[in-house]
Structures are given as structure tokens and as C-alpha cells.
Chain A
């Protein structure tokens, strides 16, 4: 095989891959920094949900079965995960937009491995999700939410970032399959369902039996419980590891599915 100029002067593959991921993340950053007000909808939606749910359902803590008397503390991890879901799904919407505009072709005709092309967008969504999460958390603290401890905060942020990555994989998978922004509602609704069909509004024992069953098999329940533990009690390994396993499983499955769609774009 005759080597091309580019191949002869190429850096080692891992370094080229890292450089590509970093370059794609830098491009994704433009969306946030160069479009005035672009960050607002992503921050606004979970904030409104947080304030709204708190105002509407706050009295639920009077019921027996709540570990905390502060609904702000109970609901804030849900809003942070919801914000991560919105942000991750938005990465899918952006990918669909890029597909419609022809930008994705530019990526696909490059020799960069497909997983590298996917990872750039997913990691960017992960980092971006920290913005709405931090905003909502700040408001929650102002309203009197319990300090989760440093360990609780770290676990919560880890779950938020990983949930955004899961959502980005889900959104990217749909974007690459349907190649159209028309799939946006499916991306958003899918993540909304995943995050909310959990003990989001009330502890498991207060849920209706059907939702209790759904929440039991929904891996996001473990993720939410891990993210919530510091806000409603102590942080324990027993409440943390199931969340880690669940999120790793979700990432592995949805990541593989997204990658499969990326490899199938030329079908």
C-alpha cells in the first residue's frame, strides 16, 4: 500500500484521537459561547421545573415515608438530572441539525475512528450539563436545601455528567438513525421518561404500584438514589455502587447503539 503524505507525518493514533476529541469539544463549546443567550433555555427549563415542582408538591413531605422534611432537598437532584437529560438530548438535536446541513459528512469522510467522532459530542454534553446543574443547585441552596457533604456533591455531579453522556448517546443514536431534527421530541421525551419514571416526586413506597414496578426496573432509579443520598441523609457505599453500575450499564448499551448507528450512516 502506498502511504499518503498525511499518513507518513501522522502522530501516534491515540494522540491523534485525543486531539480530534478535544477539537470536536472545542467546536461544541462555540454553541454556548458564541450564540448570545444559548445557555439560557438549558438552564431555564430545569430551574422552572425545580421551582414549579417545589411550589406545587412541597406539601407532600408531610406524608409518612419521606426521609426529609425539605422537598427542595428531595427534588433538586431530580432537576439536576433532568437538566442533564435536556442538555444531552440537545447534543442529539445539534447532531441532527449538523446532519441536515451536511456538516456530519465532513466528519464522516475523515479517517478518524467513528468512536472518536461520537465521543467528542458526548463529552462536550457531559461538561455542558454542569452549567444547569450548578445553577439549579445554587437556587436550591438559597431556598434552604440541605448541604449534601463534599462526598455527596461529588457523587451527585458524577451522576449528572454521566446522565448527560447517556442522553447524548441516546440523542446521537436517534439523530444518526433519522437524520432529521424531527426526531428531537423523541430524544427529549425518552430522557424525560427515563429520569421521571423513578421515585422522582416521592419515595418508592408512596408511588402508585405501577410506577413502583417501572421504577424498580428503571436503572435510572439507582442513579437518582445515588445522586440524592447526600441531600436526604448520609452518603454510603451501599447507595453509591448500584448507581455507578447502573450508569455504566446505560452508557455501555446506549454508547454501543449510538456507535452502531454511526457506523451504519452509509447504508
Chain B
């Protein structure tokens, strides 16, 4: 049974259609990466799937329960770590996890046991009795993740879990997400980082302006937009000769500068020895060679006509979230 099924899901805020009738399916045990720039509709979608926002059209079910008609069953099944890492600075980490256990209806003894285990798991045992207000950003995200796991949810929603974190904290969260997934938890992860989706997700949905513009495994999506290419740096004066040799091997791509030759290779790494041999036979010295695969950004550009990460650095528009 699929863990999440979304059909024609829509959400309007007045005149603005934040999510414009999306379809998607997430299989049990999968990590689904929901990729898009700020304001694309990611958070609105997550809020609908987690019962925090009513859809204005279409339907969605999580773990077999409709998010509108069976909201309570959905809530029992899911774990949620939302963008703001909503934590009470006056509580200690341990108190917070225990409160979450109570909210999820766990008996007190089980709540205590889970709190100890989860704090250990996310590396916060040493800080368990400190107030959350004294935690660093990375520690707060890990605590938020632990709270989301207290009732062993079947489906875990993580809304931009690493936004604003330093690279080390980001890697820690990634490792934890992978480990959870290995234990069988389905993960629905929104992100605006290409690398995050590429590293973690089994399947990726790309959303832009409220519409899903592409969906599939990261590999399949990248293949869809084109073949990999080799980027050759050759000695000065050898560029023209190298281009002549390479032209016989495949399609030359428009050069970036006067020093490099870009050659598309249909078979990827398997074509590299052939290229090196041909250049060697022609007496051309290769200073460096790099096999470049299409990135998810290339996919994004191909589907939307603009870059994802450039928009992110520009800040983008905030997405309405129902307030």
C-alpha cells in the first residue's frame, strides 16, 4: 500500500492558488524529496498532508487515511518536524520529548523510556536536562526530530529540516534520516537544497509555482535532461587539435573558455578510456579530465527555465501558509 497518495490537491488563499492540483504517490519505506524554491508550495502541501491546513480541492491520504475525513487517524500515524523547529525555550529537552509522548497518548513509563532512548539516539543525552533555549540551532533540529519520532511514526514529515544549519549539523541530520529509513520509516522531506534531495531521496518531486513539474528518481530525472559530458583541460595551443579528435568521437558542446573541450559521452564513464586513448594517440597531453553528470539543477532549469539555487540565494517570496 502506498504511504501517501495525493490526487489533484489544491489550496487557494483568496485569489492566490498556492498549490494547483498536484498528484503524487510515495511508497512505503521510501524517502521522497519534495524540491522547490521558496514560495513554490512545499510547506502548504506539507501542512495539508499533516492535517494542519484544509485543502480547497482534490484529496490526499496518508497511511491509508484521508487527511480531511480521518484527520485523527492520520495524526496518530505521522511524525512531523516543521520548518520553525517549534520548541519551547523554557522546557528542557527531556521534558519536551515526554510532553510529546503524552500528546501522542503513550503511557508515562513508555514516554520516559522513549525520551531517554531518543535523546541518546540524537546525541543529546548530555543536554537532556538543559533548557531548550540554550541549545544551538543544530541541537534544536535534532531535538525536534527526536520529538517527531516519539511514537514510532510510520510516515515522517520533515519540512526543510536542514535549512540554516552548518554543514556538520546538516550531515548529522542526513545520517539520522537514512538510519530511520533503513528501519522502515517512510520519509517525506521538503528541501530547497539540490544536494539534499540528491543524497537522500529515492524519488524526487520538483514543485514550482504550485505545480509538480517533474517526478522520478534523481538518476532518471538527470538522464532525462541529457547525457553526461567530459571536460578536458589540454595544453596551450592543443585546443583546436583536441577538438578535431573529439569531434570524431561524439558531440562537442559549446566551450566554456578557450582552454577546455567539452564532449558529450552517451555511455558516461564507459566512454572515458576511448577518449583518453584517442587523445593519447594524437599526441595531445591531457592536464585534467572530469566526467560531469547533469545535476538536479539542470533538471530544474530544463523544466522551469530558471535556476533553483540562484532563487534561493535571492530570498524568493514567502509562501502563504494559511495564517
A–B: direct contact at CB < 8 Å:
yes
Interface residue ranges, A against B (CB under 8 Å): 1-2, 4-7, 9-11, 16, 19-20, 23-24, 26-27, 30-31, 34-35, 101-112, 179-180, 265-267
- Cβ contacts under 8 Å, B54 to chain A: 266-267
Q: How far is the CB of A228 from chain B (nearest CB, A)?
A: 37
- Is B102 an interface residue, CB under 8 A from the partner? yes
Contact with A along B75-111 (1 / 0, CB 8 A): 1111010111111101100010011101111111010
A-B contact count (CB 8 A): 109
What is the CA–CA distance of A20 and B77 in the complex, to the nearest angstrom? 18
On chain B, the residues within 8 Å of A107 by CB distance are 103
Contact call B102/A1, Cβ cutoff below 8 A: no
B152 at interface (Cβ–Cβ under 8 A)?
A: yes
Q: Which of B45-53, B164-172, B306-314 contacts A (4 or more CB under 8 A)?
A: B45-53
Q: Provide the bound-state CA to CA distance between A111 and B106, in Å.
A: 11
| Pairwise interchain contact A103-B86, C-beta atoms closer than 8 A | yes
Contact among A34, A35, A110 with B103 in the assembled complex (CB-CB below 8 Å) = A110
Residue from the list A11, A103, A109 in contact with B50, Cβ < 8 A: A109
Once the chains bind, are B77 and A102 in contact (CB under 8 Å)? no
Complex Cα spacing A7 to B84, Å: 28
8 A Cβ contacts from B92-140 to A: 95, 98-100, 102-108, 110, 131
Contact between A5 and B51 (Cβ–Cβ < 8 Å)?
no
Apart from A20-B102, A111-B76: 5 A-B pairs, beta carbons within 8 A:
A2-B63, A9-B110, A10-B106, A11-B107, A266-B51
Residues of A within 8 A of B323 (CB): 179-180
Q: Shortest 3 CB-CB distances between A and B: which pairs?
A: A102-B86, A102-B84, A110-B103
Interface flag for B147 (CB, 8 Å): yes
Kindly state the separation between the CA atoms of A2 and B80 in the bound complex, as whole angstroms: 20
Give the residues in chain B near A11, CB-CB below 8 Å.
105, 107
Q: A4-B151, A4-B154, A102-B86 are in contact. Are A111 and B104 (CB under 8 A)?
A: yes
The residue among A4, A26, A179 with the most chain B CB atoms within 10 A of its own CB is A4
B80 contacts across to A, CB distance below 8 A: 105-106, 109
**Contact code string B142-166 (vs A, CB < 8 Å = 1, else 0):** 0000010001111000000000000
Report B9 CB to chain A, min CB distance, Å.
Answer: 14
- Are the C-beta atoms of B75 and A111 separated by less than 8 Å? yes
A27 nearest CB across to chain B (Å): 6
Instruction: Let me know if B90 and A23 touch, CB within 8 A.
Output: no
**B105:A30 contact, CB within 8 angstroms:** no
Given the known interface contacts A34-B131, A110-B103, the answer about A6 and B78 at a Cβ–Cβ threshold of 8 Å is no
Q: Which of A1, A27, A110, A179 contacts B104 (CB 8 A)?
A: A110
| Nearest Cβ on chain B to A166's Cβ, whole angstroms | 26
Q: Does B73 contact A (CB under 8 A)?
A: yes
A103 to B85, CA, bound (A): 8
Instruction: Report A-chain residues with C-beta under 8 Å of the C-beta of B294.
Output: none
Q: List 19 A-B contacts (CB under 8 A).
A: A1-B73, A4-B77, A4-B152, A4-B154, A9-B110, A10-B107, A23-B103, A24-B99, A26-B99, A105-B80, A108-B51, A109-B51, A109-B75, A110-B103, A111-B73, A112-B103, A265-B52, A266-B54, A266-B322
Question: Considering the chains assembled together, what is the distance between the CA atoms of A16 and B107 in angstroms?
Answer: 7
Pairwise interchain contact B86-A105, C-beta atoms closer than 8 A: yes
Whole-angstrom CA separation of A179 from B76 in the bound complex: 25
Which of B50, B64, B151, B152 makes the CB contact (< 8 A) with A2?
A: B64
Contact of A31 among B63, B64, B72, B90 (CB under 8 A): B90
Question: Which residues on A sit within 8 Å (CB–CB) of B51?
Answer: 108-109, 266
Q: Are A266 and B52 in contact (CB under 8 A)?
A: yes
Give, as a whole number of angstroms, the nearest-CB distance from A238 to chain B: 44
Judging by beta carbons under 8 Å apart, are A10 and B86 in contact?
Answer: no
Q: Which residues of A contact B107 (CB under 8 A)?
A: 9-11
Query: Given known contacts A4-B77, A7-B76, is B82 in contact with A112 (CB within 8 Å)?
Result: no
- What is the bound-complex CA distance between A6 and B106, given in angstroms? 6
Q: Which of B72, B95, B103 contacts A20 (CB 8 A)?
A: B103
Residues of B within 8 A of A1 (CB): 64-65, 73
Q: CA of A6 to CA of B72 in the docked complex: distance in angstroms?
A: 13
CA distance A111 to B71 in the complex (A): 8
Using Cβ atoms and an 8 Å threshold, which residues of chain B touch A10? 105-107
Residue of chain B at shortest CB distance from A13 = B105
Q: Are B108 and A19 in contact (CB under 8 A)?
A: yes
